Amino acid sequence: MVRQLFPFGALIFSSGIDQLMREGRLDPLPFFQRHARCDWGDVSDDQWQANNAAMQSRDRIESFYVVHRELSLYIFTEADRSETHVVLASER
């Protein structure tokens, strides 16, 4: 169970994430849990600070995670907190 530090709305997986999940090649939930715990992953210090500020200002929150050398993903929560998207870096 994720302790909700900010509203994240509906969790939406891109087609690439969905395909990797169906093939058993990726479990995106640990990365989503990191995002939900305000661990923004492999982002710049500026983006880390922007995300922390966005929790108060209600701007978009963006995380980036390197799964392995050939696979990275972005997770972003919309400014209105209605949706959180999980997408492959190659789909962005």
Q: What are the strands of the beta sheet with 83-88, ordered from one edge?
A: 10-13, 83-88, 71-77, 61-68
The letter for the amino acid at 67 is V
pLDDT, tens digit, for every residue of 67-78?
Answer: 999 999 999 999
Q: Using DSSP, state whether 49 is helix, strand or coil.
A: helix
pLDDT, residue 90, reads 94
Q: Which two tokens stand for residue 64?
A: 């980036």
CB atoms within 10 A of CB 32: 20
Q: Would you kindly state where each structural domain of the chain is located, as residue ranges?
A: 10-83
Rounded to an integer, what distance in angstroms lies between the CA atom of residue 85 and that of residue 62?
Answer: 10
pTM of the model: 0.91
